[in-house]
Amino acid sequence: MSQLRTVYSLLFVVTFGLASCGHSNEHRVEAEFTVYVQRFQDEATKHGKNFDLVNGGLIVEFADLKDGEAGLCHYEKPIRIEIDKTYWAAISKYADADLMKEDLLFHELGHGFLRRKHLNSLLENGDWKSIMCGGDKVNDRSWNINYHGVRRAYYLNELFNESTPAPDFSSLQLLVDTTGYVPLYSLNFNSQAQAGWSLVDATNYSTTLTTDGKLKFQSKIAQAYLVSLTPPTAVSFNFSYELTIENSIGVSVDQYGIIFGVIPDGSNGNNSPIEYFNINKNKKMFMGNRTFYSFFTELDESKILLAGKNKLKVFKIGSMIYYFINNTYTYCSEIVTTGGLNKFGFMVPPQGTVLVDNFLISQSRSSGAPARVAVNKPISFEITPINADTQNAILNK
């Protein structure tokens, strides 16, 4: 799993050696790793593989690894695994720390005890096929694995059985009903009264309307911005949210897209559970939640237009988010944010300019949504610069 808050590329590496670190049955596992070693042994038993990792020998220890390596498995007697202590400390601060640690340890234990090699195949939706992905990069893509929710069970099955069939979540055939949604709130940016956000020329950013009816937001500093508004009522049931967005300047790796979630009253939003759905001009797609260490995964998406506007849309149905690019279904994943969502908006890259149009929030009719579109009602808005630490996670730095 690539981490994105430091310079690591977090390679998974296997080394082969004949030298022994001690007695071939030596068991020495540092305390922070014991829960994950036990989980691996328990999962192995569930999948018909029995290992005695205590009496059979195993060493798992912290190390100062180089070249962006998160973990190393040495084929010695006993198997010896090294985990980079800086990376381990970094991921420990975030909401997804437990599963990231499990993923890392299971990958290395998969090398050592299952004799699994790196496998860089993809599922139909672009997810990595296995948590055993790693080694030499493929198309310069990160190794981030979306290892939570329904995906965890699949990845565990595949780890112990490479013949595990492709899971339902990997299909690009949309398996849910996205009809029956009625408009709840919209903005068309044809006039200042319909702009949603105040039009200002501030020191660090500016907001204006273009002559063809788009909202133009320009970041004047080397910080990304989360630009959000609060709809008249919080959205807590099944909904869809869409807009068109264009990144008129900037470099190809700059990420921009839509955000939605919760920013508590009085908060600056830096640690708020905001979901994001970003794209860039390299035709890459990223999705995630700001309370997580990094984005869920990175996808290559041919539907992204290099020039002009892209329509981004999400449906929240039950516990899942379904992602669309230019009206084409691309991916699904669990929503992390719970309860009513009080912020909807977009993200602007550092020193970037985006053009936004066709802003629309709709709600499932079965959720009791009103039959009329709420426009020109008093709303509150927020423009939040992303602090440097959070920005690294969202912007793939």
Model pLDDT for residues 12-43, shown as the tens digit of each residue: 455 544 444 456 889 999 999 999 999 999 99
pLDDT of res. 334: 96
- Pairing mode of beta strands 380-385, 225-230: antiparallel
**Residue pair 141/298 in contact by the 8 Å Cβ criterion:** yes
Question: pLDDT for 38-88, tens place per residue?
Answer: 999 999 999 999 998 888 999 999 999 988 899 999 999 999 999 999 999
Rg (CA), the chain: 23
Beta bridge partners of 319: none
The mean pLDDT value of the chain amounts to: 86
Q: Report the C-alpha gap between 60 and 51 in whole angstroms.
A: 16
Which region among 261-265, 340-344, 393-397 has the lowest average model confidence (pLDDT)? 393-397
Ranges of each domain in the chain: 11-170, 181-394
Class (C level, CATH) for 181-394: mainly beta
Confidence of residue 206 (pLDDT cuts 50, 70, 90): very high
* Position with higher pLDDT, 232 vs 395: 232
pLDDT at position 33 is 98
- Asked if residues 209 and 195 have their Cβ atoms less than 8 Å apart, the reply is yes
| Cβ-contact 78, 26 below 8 angstroms | yes
pLDDT at 68: 84
φ/ψ of residue 70, rounded to 5: -90, -35
Helix (H, G, I), strand (E, B) or coil at 304: coil
Averaged pLDDT, 350-364: 94
Question: 């672009």: which residue's tokens?
Answer: 126
What pLDDT shows up at residue 5?
26
- What's residue 368's pLDDT? 53
Where would I find the beta strands (DSSP E) of the chain?
11-16, 27-29, 58-63, 69-75, 80-84, 181-187, 205-209, 215-219, 225-230, 239-247, 256-261, 274-279, 284-289, 297-300, 310-317, 320-325, 328-334, 343-348, 353-364, 380-385
Range of lowest pLDDT (187-196, 278-287, 315-324): 187-196
Q: For position 215, what pLDDT does the model report?
A: 95
Q: Taking CA 335 as the corner, what is the angle to CA 331 and CA 339, rounded to the nearest 5 degrees?
A: 150
Instruction: Tell me the pLDDT band of 271, cut-offs 50, 70 and 90.
Output: low
CB within 8 Å of 321: residues ≥ 6 apart: 275, 287, 314, 315, 332, 333, 334, 335
What DSSP state is assigned to residue 341?
B
The percent of residues in the chain predicted with pLDDT above 70, rounded, is: 85
Question: In the prediction, which pLDDT does 22 show?
Answer: 52
